[in-house]
Amino acid sequence: MKFYIDYMCDLKSTMSEIEKALVELKALMKYRAEQLGYEEDFRGLGLTSRKNLCLHPSVKREKSGAVVDARCRSLTAGFVKEKKDRGENVDVCVYHDNLDLLEPHNLVPNGVWTFDGILRYGEENKQCPYFTMQYCNVVIFSYHYLLDPKIAERVSRDFSKDCIVVFDEAHNIDNVCIEALSTDITNESLHKATRGAQNLERKISEMRDTDQEQLQTEYQKLVQGLRDADEARQEDAFMANPALPEDLLKEAVPGNIRRAEHFVSFLKRFIEYLKTRMKVRQVISETPPSFLSHLREHTFIEKKPLRFCAERLTSLVRTLELTNIEDYQPLQEVATFATLVSTYEKGFLLILEPYESETAEVPNPVLHFTCLDAAIAIRPVFDRFYSVIITSGTISPLEMYPKMLDFPTVVQESYTITLARRSFLPMIVTRGSDQSAMSTSFQVRNEPSVVRNYGDLLTQFAKITPDGMVVFFPSYLYMESIISMWQSMHILDEVWKYKLILVETPDAQETSLALETFRTACCNGRGAVLLCVARGKVSEGIDFDHQYGRTVLCIGVPFQYTESRILKARLEFLRETYRIKENDFLSFDAMRHAAQCLGRVLRGKDDYGIMVLSDRRFLKKKDQLPKWINQAILDSDVNLSTDVAISSAKRFLRTMAQPFKAKDQEGISTWSYKDLLEHQENSRSDNFRIREFVGDQQAFGAPQNVDSDLHEYDDDELDQEMMQMGMP
Amino acid sequence: MLKVFAKPPEGGEPVPYLFHFNTSEAKDEAKAVRDLLSRLLAEMKNSDPNVPTPNLGTPNLQANGNGGSGASGSMAFASAVNKSQQPSLQWFDDSQLKNNYELQQSLMKKDPSLHRTYMEAMAMKPDTITGSAFNTQFWSTRINMLRAHAIETSQKGGQYNVLSTVRAKSDNGELKLNLTVEQIQMLLAQYPLIRRIYNENVPPRSDKDFWVEFFTSRLCTRLRGERVEENANFSPLFDKHDINENTPSHHSKIMAQNVPHIIDIEANEENQGGVRSGNKKDVEMRPSKHVAIVKTVNSVSERIMAHVAPSDPNDEVANEAYKQLGLRDLRGPEEEHRIMLNVKEQNKLFAKRDAAPSSNAQVFAKQNPDDVLFDIQADLATLVEDGIGGLDLAAGIGFNDDSESDEEDNSSAKRPHVGSRSILRVAEKEILHGISQQRAQQYGHASDETTPMGLSRAMADRCSLTHATTVEFLHQFWSAFLSGDPDRAAELQYLAESLAKSIGRINAVAEEATKEREGLIKKRKQDIRDHYERTGKKIRWKSDMVEGGREAVIKLMQPVLDAIDGARSKYADALAAEGIKVSTES
């Protein structure tokens, strides 16, 4: 067996996932080297933000990622180096400049580099890990870098068309796509954007005094068209552009924004217009065309120059050699918004919410420019690469994804899991010990009896679970309120007896610390419960394998907040464009997050854990769980009350305590080389038989094409039916 | 190592041959040789029924599992050492468990039904089986229970969230609260703020008042993470403090290090490319930052785990975290993690001992054992016959059985010698005294339970409380002092002062005890006076007969006081070494 990946990028949702994948890849390559007897010419790297990779002694201490980015650029930008070469006294980064001494295609030795590894290597050789990230066989990075047009330029440029793109952990990919193209504009960001525009104006006048020529060249370039500008873009391009249609790049920038001064005043006019729109005190939702016509009526800003805003701003920033980009971030947001709103007529919606909540008195207006169509962001990826794989442990149902992302699948397959023993116990608990129903539906979720029953469930499981236990709540708000209620009911006092309690907080650093404490307590034997949120930071990318999670408790169905206007707009869009019913989508979305939570507890075949879904409403949604979980739910483990669930869990834990050797798994869930050969033999003979069969059919003059035609016909009919049902 | 004894056919001394297999590769060879030999021998034995079972001719086969020569001996030694040191090894040794009567008794005490079964089985056992045989048999089927019990009993409880275990119970409209010494100790350990307030306020205030006020204060409610009600009791002592003061001044071990990448949520957020995306979270998903309980819960857990070594060591080389991360089932067979011990010439290692044997050994080494034995036997043989009638051991030590005279007259005249009655008496007394002291130390006097050294029960409780708090402060002091952290110098100074205050606290208790004692004496005197007035009889009584008072307290507290003195002098020494004078002596 020989495999060789020529080029592949594996996309993950979080950095934790990337690091894990790199570690696994490293182990794999080590194994291959052992088996093959030689090291392959192979390089695997991960890619993440500057903040996570910086080695510069003072820059890396900065708390905020944006500041790190800005300071890094100010030390490493191309013109900074030019200045230095001219003999000017400028600060540079040693780590970055050392890279110039190396061969550009061979910055690190072959091998797989984890983040820790590359950081260490960078420190030893005094070279910058962030800029070392390039030519390799496998590169793993967050899929924001491919989907988010604002940062996509950074990496996607280097990839060839035959590169295999794998979106791993892609269960949430549609939301990432949508968020990548959406923008929220607030009064504060507009204010900052104005300031940014004023700064630009000042810089321009400064430059006009000193370096008239440069502005002139820029103007000439713009006349020739953006294409050249695109080519001229250096590696250190700071501001990238949203996904633009091909024709836009070929066109020349319209005359009225070619001059820098004109462009800045054009931007200022646009910002002022937005400010007046923010003064409205009622909720407005409108489509981009309606917004544009209103805009033209009041400010005479045409659609065409608006489309070029983002590109024009990038070009200007480059011409002015600005380094402190974070000052212009809000301005860039506005420019991106302008470009997007004038480029796409469909799939976007503008929603102005003057008040933060229904009850709020003080206005805090937010203009949501929200993308409704996940396909827009991912379409360039499909267009560009031949092979794209979308995969996750918790994608279910599969059909939903091609629909939502609007692409045809070549292969679509769902796999189960083979286990030598029943190593996880999924259960649906619908009632408390007092037999009253448990649910987090909006009407009953704050009723003391429901809260107490959930508390009882938590306490009981805390009592019997060894080591770690993870609890997921449907939302932050509910988690906070239920924890406070549990404290006043003295339920937490009870839990403290058995486990330490840790809670996910809004602060990422604090949560990391809580996680570390959690892990320590689990390893130490003290045991701990981690309370977190189903769509939160912990649910993505953090595993609770082995002792870190023996029970995962999903309190309530993690539905989205249905009163959200953005969600409502998206539901309507999905219904009208892709014929996905509101309830189907909501339920699908909730169940994929529930499955995601459940999946946290099991990693590998020697692991074991209990999965508890506790809500009355899970009964009907059972079938929407991924196949491997759904198949493992026995009929006797559905619709349980707390006490029955506990006794069942106890029984399960007792069987798990029996010795389980690697040998027991052989031939069932792990295959030796011999098993593999046997399987190959079997499948080969199967194939042979199929070919024979097909041959017979053809001999009888019944081509299988007829069959597939029939299917297609059926599908059309079905679609017709669905269309009729979908339209009320 | 393979040792083969060859017995020459003509009889005589068997000659041992030693074969060393020094490398791990040679292990297989050793095994092969051994297998061959044992097979041959077995065949020989089978074919020749005359060969008695184990005789000298049977080669003594020893092939240690690991191939390293001499390793088996040292390993056996090592495991023997381990056995005595680590109870954990005892748990896995079936025979030790079976013979551990104490353990069995305690298990039966815990499990009455098992006890009943045991007694019934004991009664019904046939007489042919001895008690111990029965015992072994009975427990051999219950080894797992014994092991579980052994492990259970040898475990100690760790820290827990104290505040959650202390709740006032309402009893007839009155709030009642029970606090144990242990709980107070843990409260002081877990909440630096309480420790500080306690330290600053307790000598004027009594312990009881302090805790009563604390548990009714708003601070306590806030420390629990609960919402403070509008009409809650306001305590000027506690409620002027902010709970944020409770956050520890120094970071725990967990906080001191970076979080590994696989759980670094902060880095995850950064990983999105540094650009804020749209679609602000809806109301439900926006965390409000004002929920106190969340922070409280996390900080309590972190504090409890603060002294535990973090599970993800920050060691760059030891990628423990990554090892854990690996999918274990995808890994190949486990490699041997043992370190191969290849000791070539063991003698070299122990050369020192060989080089310089003790002078005695040198003397002995020159002697022929046979000669020596012969000499001694000859001496013993002549002992009876040499006319004196053997040795008189009693006379040898000067014991005079006939002397009836008491020690008074001759003890002064004669130098006391071994065996005289007086000496024997003194020895007996000493031994008995020692025993009683031992007993007292181990089990205490009968009265110690409630009124040690004549102190009243309330006073004893106060003593134990003060003792516990003082120990806690000492603990804090030493952990800061020994940390060697220059940043903690200020904290250390404060802790040293608090030690001084602790002495004050002990003295306060002692004063109170004196007052109590005086009260008792007064009362007693009054009684005697009354009695005299009534009956005209005097009762002989000395005030010394009343125990307790300052002395008792100080005596009880002496070890702690010594410890404080020790700590303070160490601190003063350290300061002197730094060239700073103790300015805060109280």
pLDDT at B405 over 60: no
Min mean pLDDT across A100-114, B304-318, B446-460, B548-562 is at B304-318
Average pLDDT on A512-522 reads 88
- The answer to whether the complex's ipTM is over 0.95 is no
Contact A505 B294 (CB under 8 A): yes
Tell me the pLDDT tens digit for each residue of B487-524: 777 778 888 888 888 888 888 888 888 888 888 888 88
Which of B259, B294, B322 has the CB atom closest to A23's CB atom?
Answer: B322
To the nearest whole Å, the CA of A207 is away from the closest chain B CA by 29
Q: Taking a C-beta distance cutoff of 8 angstroms, is the pair B73, B81 a contact?
A: no
Q: Is the pTM of this model over 0.95?
A: no
Closest CA to A480 of B285, B232, B300, B136: B285
Torsion angle defined by CA atoms of residues A177, A178, A182 and A184, in that order, rounded to the nearest 10 degrees: -120
Give residue B376's identity as a one-letter amino acid code: I
Q: Give the confidence band of B398 by pLDDT, cuts at 50, 70, 90.
A: low
CB A645, CB A429: distance < 8 Å: yes
Distance of alpha carbon B21 from alpha carbon B65, whole angstroms: 11
Put simply, whether A164 touches B (Cβ < 8 Å) is: no
> Picking from A542-556, A707-721, B220-234, B489-503, which range would have the lowest pLDDT averaged per residue?
A707-721
Alpha-carbon radius of gyration of chain B: 37
Asked whether residue B310 carries a pLDDT value surpassing 70, the answer given is no
Q: State which residue of chain A sits closest to B261, comparing Cα positions.
A: A16
φ/ψ of residue B478, rounded to 5? -65, -40
Q: What is the mean pLDDT of residues B535-540?
A: 77
By Cβ distance, the residue of B164, B227, B288 closest to A480 is B288
Whether residue A338 contacts residue B252, with contact meaning beta carbons closer than 8 Å, is answered with no
Measured distance CA(A597)–CA(A477) in Å, rounded: 18
Peptide bond into B357 cis (omega under 30): no
Q: Give the pLDDT of residue A573.
A: 94
CA–CA gap between residue A250 and residue A707 (Å, rounded): 46
Range with lowest mean pLDDT among A373-387, A660-674, A695-709, B221-235: A695-709
Interchain CB contact of B248 with A (< 8 Å): no
- Tens of pLDDT, residue by residue over A613-663, are 999 999 999 988 988 888 889 999 999 999 999 999 999 999 998 887 777
pLDDT given for residue A559 in this prediction: 92
pLDDT above 60: residue A236: no
From B273, B301, B325, residue closest to A517, measured CB to CB: B301
CB contact under 8 A, B287 and A510: no
pLDDT above 80: residue B25: no
B268:A480 CB<8 A: no
**Interface contact A606-B167, CB threshold 8 A:** no
Residue B243 CA to residue B238 CA, distance in Å, equals: 10
In terms of C-beta density within 10 A (0-12 exposed, 13-18 middle, 19 or more buried), how is residue A370 classed? buried
Most confident of the following: A460-474, B242-256, B353-367, B490-504: A460-474
Rank A220-224, A361-365, A660-664, B122-126 by mean pLDDT and report only the highest: A361-365
Q: What confidence score (pLDDT) does residue A710 get?
A: 36
Instruction: State the pLDDT confidence band at A706, using cuts at 50, 70 and 90.
Output: very low
As a whole number, mean pLDDT of residues A358-367 equals 85
Average of per-residue pLDDT across B345-365: 62
The pLDDT, as a whole number, for residue B441 is 74
pLDDT digits (tens, 9 = 90+) for A37-80: 888 788 888 888 888 888 888 888 877 777 787 788 778 877 77
What is each CA distance from B46 to A711, B37, B130, B353, in whole angstroms?
A: 79, 14, 37, 46
A351 CB-side CA count, 13 A: 22
From the number of C-beta atoms within 10 Å of its C-beta (0-12, 13-18, 19+), residue A590 rates as buried
pLDDT of residue A571: 94
CA angle B573, B574, B578 (to 5 degrees): 115
Q: Using the 8-state DSSP alphabet, how is residue A257 labeled?
A: G
CA distance A384 to A365: 39
Highest mean pLDDT among A128-132, A392-396, A561-565, B582-586 belongs to A561-565
The yes-or-no verdict on residue A695 having pLDDT over 90 is no
Residue from B272, B303, B312 to probe the interface with A (highest A Cβ count within 10 Å): B272
Q: Is some CB atom of chain A closer than 8 A to the CB atom of B261? A: yes
| Pick from B270, B300, B329: CB nearest A51 | B270
Chains A & B: contacts with CB separation below 8 Å? 262
Mutate to test the interface with B, among A357, A500, A603 (most CBs of B within 10 A): A500
Best mutation target among A30, A516, A671 (most B Cβ atoms within 10 Å) is: A516
Q: What is the pLDDT of residues A237-277, one digit of tens each?
A: 434 444 455 555 556 778 788 888 889 999 999 999 999 99
**Contact partners, residue A170, CB within 8 Å, separation at least 6:** A11, A13, A143, A390, A391, A392, A395, A401
Shortest Cα distance from B540 to chain A (angstroms)?
A: 58
